[in-house]
Amino acid sequence: MKRYLFLLFVAAMSVPALFAAVNIDGTTYQVDTLIHRQIGPGVMNTVVRLPQYPLNVYVLETDLNNPYNRVETTIANNTVGGTELLTKAYVRNRTATKRPFAACNANFWVVGGSGAPWNVYALGTPMGAVVRNDTTYVNTNTTADQWDGGPTRTGATAITHDKTVYNGRFMWYGKVKGDKLNGELDFSNVNRRCLNNDLALWNAAYSRTRAFEDDWVGHNERGDNQTDNYYLNFAQGENWAVSKDMRFVVAAIVKGADRQKLGDYDACLTATGNKKAALESLEVGDEIFISSSWMVNDPDREKVFIDVENMVEGNAYIMHNGELTGRNYDETYNSQVYSRTCYGSSADGKHLYMIVIDKATSNLYGASAGCPTAVACQILKGLCPDVTEIVNYDAGGSAEMMVHGAIINTTTEG
């Protein structure tokens, strides 16, 4: 899985300059510090080698108290369903007022080997949630197409408008309401697909010219849903947001037609089967309210909605309150020896950590054996003691860390 989704630093900690050793499963391993440098405001990059293991380890630590840094997500060309080199995204995101300087991959995503129906309707689409600068690109799937056991098993990293990191499990809610609607309605997906008897939301992150995936009559069966399409524009002064109502005006209605396209509208709400009746009272000019919200879903945390500005989602929440979780051991992807990408955070949410560990041979540093996620957790905790929460992300050829436009590690795929 190659070079796709990542958190991008825009604008560089408490890591000590030299590390003597880390403890992994009761064994002490020597740590050689190869690089320890500040690469931007409040952001440090550290590269260490554990020669006895052996492992090459790359860390980014961001002090989010620093007012001169910012963390954003991005996906390939800001559109779901594609690929883009990390280095190309670095160039694309540079502007006169914004200077990216570091990045790391994140989400798992649909590839050809993911199998039907996912590689038919969602090739190149992230498996988990993505929010970029208040816009929901894809949601945490809580219904028919749940990935890896759904949100009670997966983990995500969210950053709020006040630059606080939340690592953990989240439940997503999509709601529609309006004066002409009979109560509050649930919709199941953003920019994925609309099954029979379903509501789904589409926006420009899906594409303005790609047909909506709304003709699925079964899990792996296409047909004719006679979809009703409600095209929406923002009411004056409104824009994309998370965990709050967004006010839209119905701009056009196309009934009984599958696989329409977004065109120049801000959004489209599609209804199939028995959900069509819930929207049939709407007319052009009516106002409705739509919300896309994430709630903390950990048993020992308060169930509150998070003011998400940027978000990515991995497959597992692997450290909580400084302790390894069972998710390190109950899934082969996590327990096997592999390259690794993980995101960590401090208890106060004001330090963000990213770690990449190679399973490859570096021309600079030598061979790196790879490791299970439990080992990655212990290494990051040993290097950065204030880490309390860690989420696991995509690895293999996707495991990449970029600094100043160049990939600094060696991926599994070379």
Residue 348 has pLDDT above 60, yes or no: yes
Mean model confidence pLDDT for the chain? 94
Confidence at residue 145, expressed as pLDDT on a 0 to 100 scale: 85
In 3D, which of 109, 41, 95, 105 has the Cα closest to residue 73? 105
Residue 217 has pLDDT above 50, yes or no: yes
pTM of the full structure: 0.94
Confidence at residue 37, expressed as pLDDT on a 0 to 100 scale: 97
Residue 245 has pLDDT above 50, yes or no: yes
Confidence at residue 413, expressed as pLDDT on a 0 to 100 scale: 64
Report CA 53 to chain centroid distance, whole Å.
31
Ranking 5-9, 25-29, 97-101, 271-275 by mean pLDDT, the lowest is 5-9
Average pLDDT estimate for 302-314: 97
Confidence at residue 9, expressed as pLDDT on a 0 to 100 scale: 43
> Which pair of structure tokens corresponds to residue 177?
């309401």
Average pLDDT estimate for 16-22: 72
Average pLDDT estimate for 230-245: 98
Reported as a pLDDT band with limits 50, 70 and 90, residue 143 is confident
Confidence at residue 18, expressed as pLDDT on a 0 to 100 scale: 63
Residue 39 has pLDDT above 70, yes or no: yes
Average pLDDT estimate for 32-50: 97
